[in-house]
């Protein structure tokens, strides 16, 4: 299948579809015309005048007042890419790099960047052939664009750096020999168009949103199993009590749980207790607040991936080249931090349910084994969950409240959105582990409610889980079981 890059709204769901279906990319005719028109305008502007434009015929950052001769404009752009490719730390996952490429192509397609059609087509060909540059996680301040990571992404265009080709690591020069490609010569503005932009932050944010939507649904299902295992009451999920709070995510969560628990024998039985702990009773309020955050973040990121975020910005129709700050990542930084907090809280309340399940209350054996004492049972998986939850709390400390001066004071406020993005990625991965441990515990605990059955939906889920992870009768090596549980959560 082929996805056509055009001016139509690109949604998060559409991006997921492009990824899942491994769609190839192609520029629409309109996008080609916009790119060609803008490039021609810029060429004519430089050929017929002596005006000075930041980054086009000047140096960069605090060197913005250094004018560059016309003969050196191409060298200026190549030097920019090379000098800015100073990323450090761990490599960015290749699926995130492919998202960076997709989003950069989208941003360049609007015809306000002065990029040549040849450069955009090379990016598209690389994406389609699964040629993925090696990019590093650290180095961006999330303000002058994601300079370092986007420089690493762009190195392959000029024959530098390393790439993965269908999963095989090689030098770009060797890839060129394999593909019979030649390095591109970047023209005025092109290096800046490639390096300025928020595609590193955006790619991490889009990936995290795709995961967050899936994990939010998984958290509801897993929590419903735990709720049944702890023999909880249904009335905190009634429509009336949630509707009068007037919070959309809460109302939606309560409805989801009513559907998940429909027909359950366990939920229908008489209860000996008047109310349940907050980690069960307040699921609509807590899970619902995270749903609302995900909905807000979706709106912000959909705006961003349908935007032009490099600098300067070119407007051929009004004869303007404007140096501004669309590369500043503040909208993303704040939202990435907000998402991190929301997803950390889904893990936080999940671990509290685990803690209740192993406590030996409500007819459940201590640590969920028939013979506690000689068996430690599920004592230590809760420790593991608590460890990861605490790490998420630390990771959820906002990056966006920080700033640091750079480029001799020219860039005196930065968003730190790149750090927020990579922290969020770790929070998402940690959340999978926490929910997996809750499922491990909840599915164990619910067996002590037999012969009563839960709803058809939850019983089917438990049966599918049991094909991967059996009931634990006595102490065993737990690490592999938790690993299988994580895989199950990822595939829900």
User: Which of 197, 220, 245 is the last residue before a domain boundary?
Assistant: 197
203 within some domain: no
Condensed to tens digits (0 to 9), the pLDDT of residues 408-460 reads 777 778 899 999 999 999 999 999 999 999 999 999 999 999 999 999 999 99
Local confidence band at 61 (pLDDT 50, 70, 90 cut-offs):
low
301 within some domain: yes
Higher pLDDT pick, 20 / 62 = 20
Query: Is residue 2 exposed (0-12), middle (13-18) or buried (19+ Cβ within 10 Å)?
Result: exposed
Residues 68 and 188 in one domain: yes
In angstroms, rounded to a whole number, what is the distance separating the alpha carbons of residues 4 and 128? 12
Average pLDDT, the chain: 95
Residues 216 and 169 in one domain: no
User: Which of 163, 197, 231 is the last residue before a domain boundary?
Assistant: 197
User: Which of 133, 168, 197 is the last residue before a domain boundary?
Assistant: 197
Residues 244 and 186 in one domain: no
In angstroms, rounded to a whole number, what is the distance separating the alpha carbons of residues 181 and 368? 61
Query: Is residue 469 exposed (0-12), middle (13-18) or buried (19+ Cβ within 10 Å)?
Result: buried
Flag whether pLDDT at 70 surpasses 80: no
341 within some domain: yes
Residue 63, number of CB atoms within 10 A of its CB: 13
Average pLDDT over every residue of 390-394: 98
Contact 159, 183 (CB under 8 A): yes
Q: Encoding tokens for residue 354?
A: 């685990």
456 within some domain: yes
Residues 343 and 318 in one domain: yes
Residues 181 and 241 in one domain: no
Average pLDDT over every residue of 21-44: 97
Higher pLDDT pick, 62 / 30 = 30
Dump the DSSP string for 4-59: EE-SS---HHHHHHHHHTT-EEEE-HHHHHHHHHHHHHHHHHHHS-----TTTSB-
360 within some domain: yes
Per-residue pLDDT at 62? 63
Residues 268 and 189 in one domain: no
Percent of the chain with pLDDT over 90: 88
Distances (CA, A) of 284 to 214, 228, 291: 17, 15, 10
Per-residue pLDDT at 412? 78
Q: Which of 240, 248, 242, 339 is nearest to 281 (CA)?
A: 242
Total structural domains within the chain: 2
Flag whether pLDDT at 316 surpasses 80: yes
Residues 58 and 22 in one domain: yes
DSSP code of residue 451: T
Query: Is residue 390 exposed (0-12), middle (13-18) or buried (19+ Cβ within 10 Å)?
Result: middle
Helices 330-357 & 417-446 angle (0-180, nearest 10): 20
Distances (CA, A) of 452 to 233, 264, 463: 15, 8, 15
Flag whether pLDDT at 58 surpasses 90: no
Dihedral sign (CA 232, 226, 211, 343): positive
Residues 221 and 143 in one domain: no
Relative to beta strand 313-315, strand 320-322 is antiparallel
Residues 246 and 136 in one domain: no
284 within some domain: yes
Residues 324 and 451 in one domain: yes
Per-residue pLDDT at 406? 83
pTM of whole model > 0.85? yes
Residues 253 and 175 in one domain: no
Condensed to tens digits (0 to 9), the pLDDT of residues 178-225 reads 999 999 999 999 999 999 999 999 999 999 999 999 999 999 999 999
Per-residue pLDDT at 73? 79
In angstroms, rounded to a whole number, what is the distance separating the alpha carbons of residues 489 and 486? 5
Query: The domain that contains 146 carries what CATH number?
Result: 1.10.275.10
Q: Which of 54, 110, 127, 230 is catalytic?
A: 54
What domain range is 143 assigned to?
2-197
Residues 271 and 340 in one domain: yes
Condensed to tens digits (0 to 9), the pLDDT of residues 129-153 reads 999 999 999 999 999 889 999 999 9
In angstroms, rounded to a whole number, what is the distance separating the alpha carbons of residues 454 and 229? 9
Q: Encoding tokens for residue 209?
A: 């949103």
Per-residue pLDDT at 94? 96
Condensed to tens digits (0 to 9), the pLDDT of residues 278-313 reads 999 999 999 999 999 999 999 999 999 999 999 999
Q: Rounded to the nearest 10 degrees, how much is the dihedral formed by the CA atoms of 138, 142, 144, 145?
A: 80
184 within some domain: yes
Contact 103, 206 (CB under 8 A): yes
Query: The domain that contains 459 carries what CATH number?
Result: 1.20.200.10
202 within some domain: no
Q: Encoding tokens for residue 224?
A: 């419903």
Per-residue pLDDT at 72? 79
Q: Which of 105, 92, 91 is nearest to 23 (CA)?
A: 105
Query: Is residue 28 exposed (0-12), middle (13-18) or buried (19+ Cβ within 10 Å)?
Result: middle
Q: Is 54 marked active-site?
A: yes
């Amino acid at each position: 299948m082929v996805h056509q890059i055009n001016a139509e709204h690109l949604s998060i769901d559409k991006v997921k579809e492009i990824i899942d279906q491994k769609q190839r990319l192609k520029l629409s005719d309109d996008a080609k015309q916009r790119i060609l028109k803008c490039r021609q305008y810029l060429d004519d502007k430089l050929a017929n005048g002596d005006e000075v434009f930041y980054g086009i015929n000047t140096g960069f950052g605090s060197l913005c007042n250094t004018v560059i001769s016309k003969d050196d404009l191409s060298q200026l752009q190549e030097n920019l890419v090379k000098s800015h490719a100073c990323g450090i730390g761990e490599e960015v996952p290749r699926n995130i790099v492919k998202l960076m490429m997709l989003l950069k192509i989208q941003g360049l397609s609007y015809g306000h960047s002065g990029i040549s059609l040849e450069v955009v087509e090379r990016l598209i060909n690389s994406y389609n052939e699964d040629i993925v540059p090696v990019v590093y996680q650290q180095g961006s301040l999330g303000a002058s664009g994601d300079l370092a990571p986007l420089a690493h992404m762009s190195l392959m265009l000029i024959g530098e750096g390393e790439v993965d080709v269908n999963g095989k690591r090689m030098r770009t020069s060797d890839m060129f020999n394999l593909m019979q490609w030649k390095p591109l010569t970047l023209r005025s503005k092109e290096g800046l168009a490639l390096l300025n932009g928020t595609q590193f932050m955006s790619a991490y944010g889009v990936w995290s949103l795709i995961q967050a939507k899936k994990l939010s649904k998984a958290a509801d299902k897993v929590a419903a199993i735990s709720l049944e295992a702890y023999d909880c009451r249904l009335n905190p999920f009634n429509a009336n009590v949630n509707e009068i709070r007037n919070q959309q995510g809460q109302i939606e969560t309560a409805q989801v749980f009513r559907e998940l628990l429909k027909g359950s024998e366990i939920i229908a039985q008489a209860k000996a207790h008047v109310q349940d702990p907050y980690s069960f009773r307040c699921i609509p309020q807590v899970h619902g607040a995270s749903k609302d955050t995900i909905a807000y973040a979706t709106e912000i990121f959909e705006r961003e991936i349908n935007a032009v975020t490099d600098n300067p910005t070119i407007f051929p129709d009004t004869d303007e080249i404007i140096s501004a700050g669309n590369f500043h990542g503040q909208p993303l930084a704040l939202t990435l931090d907000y998402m991190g907090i929301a997803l950390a809280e889904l893990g936080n309340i999940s671990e509290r349910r685990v803690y209740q399940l192993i406590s030996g209350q409500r007819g459940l054996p201590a640590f969920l084994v028939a013979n506690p004492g000689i068996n430690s049972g599920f004592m230590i998986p809760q420790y593991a969950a608590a460890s990861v939850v605490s790490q998420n709390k630390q990771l959820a400390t906002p990056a966006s409240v920080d700033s640091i001066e750079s480029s001799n004071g020219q860039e005196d406020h930065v968003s730190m959105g790149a750090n927020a993005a990579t922290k969020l990625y770790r929070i998402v991965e940690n959340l999978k582990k926490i929910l997996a441990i809750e499922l491990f515990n909840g599915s164990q605990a619910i067996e002590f409610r037999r012969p009563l059955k839960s709803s058809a939906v939850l019983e089917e889920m438990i049966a599918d889980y049991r094909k991967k992870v059996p009931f634990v009768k006595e102490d065993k090596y737990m690490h592999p079981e938790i690993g299988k549980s994580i895989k199950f959560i990822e595939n829900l």
